[in-house]
Amino acid sequence: MGKSAAFLQKTMLYNEAPAQGRTAEADFFAEGIEACRLITKCYGTSFYFATQFFPKEMREGIYAAYAFARIPDEIVDEPHLTDRDEALEKLTDWTNSWRAATAAGESSDAVINAIVKTFEKYEIPIEDCEAFLRSMSMDVEKSTYANYAELEDYMYGSAGVIGLMVTRVVGYSSDDAFEHAKKLGYAFQLTNFLRDICEDHDDLGRIYMPQDEMKHFGLTNRDLCYHVRDDRFVKFMKFQIARNRKIYREALPGIRLLNWQGRLAVRVSYVLYKAILGEIERADYNVFAGRVRTNRQQKIYLSLKALAGVYE
């Protein structure tokens, strides 16, 4: 094993010894963080891999932020919830539980308690949380987006503010880091949208591709319904990927503004998500044949590139 690979393995396996003589409150918090970790591991394969490069305390903060995002997201993405009112009711119930816990500073639910305590510790603004929940409501009420500006409004809540949260957990040297973090959230979100065109349409009845851009390339929603992959679709995907890569480049300068202890993990996230675009290209843009992804060997290779500061 080379020195770089050994360093990565050591970083990923690092864990502090469990604290001795913890209070019941600390044990309850640890229980909630562990649940947040399992949520992250279950739903965010590439993201979870990258989180292993954060120091323990920082990593736990990231788990809490991920759980805050994932739980409402799973509520609105439940395939069997065909009743819009039922989905909104479940989302409202969870939102009200979180708001009440935030006001009280604690919760009897271990996961919500961990989220509330973590957000208080890192001073996560309540308006960022509300912006995220607003976008989750949009997922129930809205299935298409007229143009990119409209989509970006959705992405600010669904992904941009998550970048802002992560920045507060990691720490930063300049407020300029926030704008770059927002961009990185957009870049990650757009990559997911491109990879999941088929799943979003077929399972959730949503199209996150701007309608005016589809029309420009001669595509209709019906084409997505029937999984049409012709020259029109390929040209459309090339346009989308080019913009996505541009946003990655705009986000990149923000990494050096983060706390040095968290930079490697963010760099790893950056290269792993960006690599998905290359996998879409290697699949000849056939996102209808199955979910494109990077395997563990590719993840390790890309992580080594990130360690060396290579992003392309």
CA pair distance 114, 35, nearest whole angstrom: 9
Q: Where are the domains of the chain?
A: 25-126, 142-312
> Tokens for 25?
């409150």
Q: Which residues touch 237 (CB under 8 Å, ≥6 apart)?
A: 194, 280, 285, 287
Per the rule left: phi > 0, alpha: psi between -120 and 50, beta: everything else, 285 is left
Do residues 275 and 234 make contact, with C-beta atoms less than 8 angstroms apart? no
Find the radius of gyration of the CA atoms of the chain: 20
| Overall fold of domain 25-126 | Farnesyl Diphosphate Synthase (1.10.600)
Domains 25-126 and 142-312 share a fold: yes
Q: What is the DSSP string of 243-282?
A: HHHHHHHHHGGGGGGB-HHHHHHHHHHHHHHHHHHHHHHH
User: What is residue 16's predicted lDDT score, i.e. its pLDDT?
Assistant: 46
What φ, ψ does residue 77 adopt, rounded to 5°?
-100, 5
Half-sphere CA count of 99, side-chain side, radius 13 A: 10
User: What is residue 137's predicted lDDT score, i.e. its pLDDT?
Assistant: 95
Residue among 164, 169, 159, 161 at smallest CA distance from 54: 169
**CA dist 25 → 68, 169, 210, 213 (Å):** 20, 21, 47, 52
CA pair distance 297, 303, nearest whole angstrom: 10
**Residue 51 identity (one-letter amino acid):** T
Do residues 247 and 183 make contact, with C-beta atoms less than 8 angstroms apart? yes
Q: What is the pLDDT along the chain (312 residues), one digit of tens a residue?
A: 444 444 445 444 444 445 556 799 999 999 999 999 999 999 888 889 999 999 999 999 999 999 999 999 999 988 565 677 888 899 999 999 999 999 999 999 999 999 999 999 999 999 999 999 999 999 999 999 999 999 999 999 999 999 999 999 999 999 999 999 999 999 999 999 999 999 999 999 999 999 999 999 999 999 999 999 999 999 999 999 999 999 999 999 999 999 999 999 999 999 999 999 999 999 999 999 988 888 888 888 888 888 887 776
CA pair distance 309, 312, nearest whole angstrom: 9
> Tokens for 58?
């920082």
| Claim: this prediction has a pTM higher than 0.75 | yes
CA pair distance 145, 149, nearest whole angstrom: 9
Positive or negative torsion for Cα 100, 106, 107, 109: positive
Instruction: Please tell me the CATH code under which domain 142-312 is placed.
Output: 1.10.600.10
Q: 172 by DSSP, 3-state: which? A: strand
